[in-house]
């Protein structure tokens, strides 16, 4: 497995700020959301932050596993669907949250379940941008985002190799 050329490590503080920025942007839409459906696992943390900021108490999950490595995203597998009462109106008034849209495969799969929902994520790559309605930060397609729940504290090489202080 080859590592990506560009790495974008995100700290807990930065992720929290970015998720709150997403909440601000969503609040500015002047749209009432009755529930959040978060795409697990990545959508769990931003959904918690956004649910607090927008005072949305009803939260459901859609659990989709994606087989991928640093370069390719593979097939998806639905592990748990959305509760039937949230599916009733095609997603009207529902906010779908994820941490990242990469290729958009997962968002497309969920959008088929909730075609009228509003899709939002914290980070987006160019291939995924058309599949979401709202996001905060776009990164290049060849960038690998390291989320805080995936990281430990270690030394980081400088971007320009061979320049140590």
Choose, from 5, 69, 75, 99, the residue flagged as catalytic. 99
Which of the residues 13, 18, 60, 102 is marked catalytic?
Answer: 102
User: Does residue 18 carry a catalytic annotation?
Assistant: no
> Annotated binding site: which residue ranges?
41-42, 98-106, 144-145
Eight-class DSSP state of 142: T
Q: Is 60 a catalytic residue?
A: no
Which member of 5, 13, 60, 98 is catalytic? 98
Give yes or no: 150 in active site.
Answer: no
Kindly report whether the peptide bond that precedes residue 41 is cis, defined as omega within 30 degrees of 0: yes
- Provide φ and ψ at 151, rounded to 5°: -110, 155
Neighbours of 58 (CB within 10 A): 14
Could you list the residues known to form a binding site for 5-phospho-alpha-D-ribose 1-diphosphate, using ranges. 41-42, 98-106
Residue ranges of the annotated binding site for xanthine are 102, 145
Backbone phi and psi for residue 25, each to the nearest 5 degrees, phi listed first: -65, -40
Residues designated catalytic: 98-99, 102
């Amino acid at each position: 497995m080859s590592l990506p050329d560009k790495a974008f490590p995100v700290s807990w503080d930065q992720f929290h700020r970015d998720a709150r920025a997403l909440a601000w942007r969503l609040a500015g839409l002047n749209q009432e959301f009755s529930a959040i459906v978060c795409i697990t696992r990545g959508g769990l943390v931003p959904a918690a932050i956004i649910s607090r900021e927008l005072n949305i108490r009803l939260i459901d999950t859609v659990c989709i596993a994606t087989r991928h490595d640093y370069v390719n995203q593979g097939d998806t597998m639905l592990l748990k669907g959305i509760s039937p009462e949230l599916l009733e109106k095609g997603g009207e008034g529902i906010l779908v949250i994820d941490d990242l849209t990469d290729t958009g495969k997962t968002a497309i799969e969920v959008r088929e379940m909730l075609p009228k929902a509003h899709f939002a994520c914290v980070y987006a790559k160019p291939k995924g941008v058309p599949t979401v309605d709202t996001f905060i930060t776009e990164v290049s397609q060849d960038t690998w985002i390291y989320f805080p729940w995936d990281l430990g504290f270690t030394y980081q090489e400088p971007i320009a190799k061979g320049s140590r202080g």
